């Protein structure tokens, strides 16, 4: 078994990743972005279901906030502080 050389391995991995990213077509990038968006939306739905289950029976559960609204509010808050 050869000695593991993390810096060399990382450099090779990053080189391969760089080549793959540069070779990607616009359609590939759009598809990856679309899939990531669906994964985020699916995760948000799952978390909301868990919260709804956990807060069942509470008088005043928090209203659902769309993820984009939450991000906008966070960015606005960060700009103010």
Residue 30 pLDDT: 84
Whether the predicted model's global pTM rises above the 0.75 cut: no
Q: Does residue 61 contact residue 52 with C-beta atoms inside 8 Å?
A: yes
Q: Does residue 48 contact residue 64 with C-beta atoms inside 8 Å?
A: yes
65-78 pLDDT, tens digit each: 666 666 666 666 66
Question: Residue 32 above 90 pLDDT?
Answer: no
Question: Residue 43 above 70 pLDDT?
Answer: yes
> Exposure string (b/e) for 44-76, b if CB count within 10 Å is 16 or more?
eeeeeeeeeeeeeeeeeeeeeeeeeeeeeeeee
Residue 34 pLDDT: 83
Q: Where are the domains of the chain?
A: 29-55+65-81
9-28 pLDDT, tens digit each: 999 999 999 999 899 998 88
Residue 1 pLDDT: 54
Q: Copy the structure tokens of residue 79.
A: 């700009």
């Amino acid at each position: 078994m050869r000695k593991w050389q993390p810096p060399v391995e990382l450099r090779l991995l990053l080189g391969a990743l760089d080549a793959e990213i540069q070779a990607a077509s616009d359609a590939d990038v759009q598809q990856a972005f679309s899939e990531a968006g669906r994964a985020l939306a699916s995760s948000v739905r799952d978390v909301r279901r868990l919260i709804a289950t956990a807060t069942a029976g509470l008088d005043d559960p928090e209203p659902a906030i769309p993820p984009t609204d939450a991000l906008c509010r966070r960015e606005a808050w960060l700009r103010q502080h």
